[in-house]
Amino acid sequence: MNFVHQCALTVRTGILIHGQTFSAMKKYLDVRSWARLSLFAVLLAVGLRAAEAGDRPIQLTEKYETVIPVPLQSLLLDNPTVRYFVTVNEEGKLVDYLALDAMHFGLLDRADVILKQAVFSPALAAAKAVQASGEVTLYFFDPEQRALRSGLITRPFGLSQTDATSRRVYETSKDRFVYRRAEPAELDQPITELETKIMVLTDANGQTASGACVVDFYIDRRGEVRAPRMVSSDNETVALSALLTLQHTRYAPISRAKGTPAYVKVRLPMSFAPVVAAKPAETK
């Protein structure tokens, strides 16, 4: 059974973006924020899931394989990989990503760098490039192990006392080093919001967002909001206000037992109350 952490937020005040169509909102946002909000709009409108784009899913233009970080080489990891859920736009640009699993959390920082530098082929639907989501995998290798297996060297591994100790600790407690999704009960501290900026949109008639919605999203190991999906919403203005607010929200980093980095799924009900303009002071 999958458990979803639930919390709630009621919004009554915040930054107002008045009377703008969605496309006109671009001037309020930096490039990264706009790209991710564009992603939110796609998720809201068509609810794309992994590999549902149609003719062809998202693809990496090549197999990305890189040298394993030096501190992990003594562990002799067998075919280490990092798997991601990514969203790529119609131009092949990475819009959003979430690391799903890794044999060792020590692979993640290097994998993130490689992912951001990777070249993607966008998904195709009816032979047209579209923004969509899917899964990709990055691979690691140890050049020394590869050389040993190919017969280029004959020196055995793990001769130093430090290497032997690291290997023994890893072998006896592998789950402590695995990066994966954590259930709320596994977290070593409660989910904590560090900062947010409430964004309240107005519709074409000047009416501020009013109503409720429910959003699913993930909080990654750094406390960033990833892969949001609108579950339900009273109207589009509320939905976009909620998603834009999440874009400006950051949580405490997520970890499970003994500080092992992880990510968690959150279901967040949000409600927006009408913003009533203050009456001008009466003069006597």
Comparison of pLDDT for 238 and 34, the residue scoring more: 238
Sign of CA dihedral 123, 99, 219, 16: negative
Best CA proximity match to 78, nearest among 136, 140, 33, 133: 140
User: Mean pLDDT over residues 82-103, rounded?
Assistant: 95
Give the pLDDT of residue 280. Answer: 61
| 267: helix, strand or coil | strand
Q: How far is CA 258 from the centre of its chain?
A: 23
In one letter, which amino acid is 222? Answer: R
Sign of CA dihedral 143, 144, 148, 153: positive
Best CA proximity match to 216, nearest among 227, 224, 207, 202: 227
Q: Alpha carbon of 26 to those of 11, 23, 94, 210, 270: distances in Å? A: 23, 6, 18, 22, 24
d(CA 92, CA 120): 5
pLDDT at 26 over 80: no
Contact at 8 Å (CB) between 245 and 11? yes
Give the pLDDT of residue 202. Answer: 81
Q: Percentage of the chain with pLDDT > 90? A: 49
Give the pLDDT of residue 272. Answer: 87
Contact at 8 Å (CB) between 235 and 280? no
Q: How confident is the model at residue 143 (pLDDT cuts 50, 70, 90)?
A: confident
pTM (two decimals) = 0.77
- The overall average pLDDT reported for the chain is 79
Contact at 8 Å (CB) between 108 and 102? yes
Taking only the tens place, the pLDDT of each residue in 241-283 is 999 999 999 999 999 988 999 999 999 999 988 766 555 666 6
277, burial (CB in 10 Å: exposed 0-12, middle 13-18, buried 19+): exposed
Give the pLDDT of residue 2. Answer: 37
Give the pLDDT of residue 210. Answer: 86
